[in-house]
Homo-oligomer: A and B are copies of this chain.
Amino acid sequence: MPSSLDFLTEALRRLPGVGPKSAQRMAFHLLQHDREGASMLSRALYQAVDNVHHCALCNTFAETAVCDTCLDERRDKTLLCVVETPADQLMIEQTLTYKGLYFVLMGRLSPLDGVGPKDIHLDKLVGRAADGVVSEVVLATNFTNEGEATAHYISEMLKARGLKVSRLARGVPVGGELEYVDAGTIARAMLDRRST
């Protein structure tokens, strides 16, 4: 096999969920049927790595120092909702039940995988939540074991600093991941959120 093709197949395996057979199928498909798609993907990767960083306030992906959501003057600055991922934030936005701001952990506590408090930016979260304007932190981590443990850890940490902390109600199915739950369920859970 040409070495450029081997290199491409190897590089495609860096994508999550892509094994050797799929990587080879993808490489053949792009070179045989979609060279334009391959060039487009090459540019998109380059641009994203170059341009996408983390919002100084909410920690989500952003191309500017502070993201559009954090800059939105119509948002309720007294509410801060903590989610695991940008996808979870999008799901909550779609419910139209929340008008506050966000903090995106970009992960969850997972001691077995070596993911500790620093890896999910809890120091940044403490600074953000203690800005003197936020009056309630709504924990919207997943209702999995790791998400619940993360919520518990954050709750204890913020309550020790005198902040009011709430958790989405258990309308979300136990074991469920927000990204795959319907908007109606998340809307109800948002309305039923409880203090912790």
Chain A interface residues (CB < 8 Å from chain B): 1-5, 7-8, 10-12, 14-17, 21-22, 24-32, 34-35, 37-52, 61-63, 67, 85-87, 90, 106-107, 179
The reply to whether B31 and A38 form a contact with Cβ atoms under 8 Å apart is no
The reply to whether B44 and A49 form a contact with Cβ atoms under 8 Å apart is no
The reply to whether A62 and B32 form a contact with Cβ atoms under 8 Å apart is no
Do most interface residues of chain A lie in helix, strand or loop, or is the interface mixed? helix
**A87 touches which one: B2, B10, B11, B24 (CB < 8 A)?**
B24
Number of chain copies forming the complex: 2
Can you list 13 contacts pairing A with B, beta carbon distance less than 8 Å? A1-B86, A2-B61, A4-B51, A8-B44, A8-B48, A11-B44, A14-B37, A27-B48, A28-B86, A30-B48, A31-B48, A42-B43, A42-B45
The reply to whether B32 and A106 form a contact with Cβ atoms under 8 Å apart is yes
**A44 touches which one: B7, B21, B67 (CB < 8 A)?**
B7
The reply to whether B48 and A7 form a contact with Cβ atoms under 8 Å apart is yes
Taking A11-B40, A30-B49 as known contacts, 17 extra A-B pairs with beta carbons closer than 8 A to each other, sorted by chain A number, are A1-B86, A2-B52, A2-B61, A3-B63, A4-B48, A5-B52, A7-B47, A8-B45, A10-B44, A14-B30, A14-B40, A15-B26, A15-B37, A30-B45, A32-B106, A35-B49, A42-B43
Which residue on B lies nearest to A12, using beta carbons?
Answer: B41
Looking at A28, A34, A46, the one whose CB has the most chain B CB atoms below 10 A away is: A46
Q: Which residues of B contact A5 (CB under 8 A)?
A: 48, 52, 61
**A45 touches which one: B29, B32, B41, B50 (CB < 8 A)?**
B41
Q: In whole angstroms, what is the CA distance A29 to B46 when docked?
A: 15
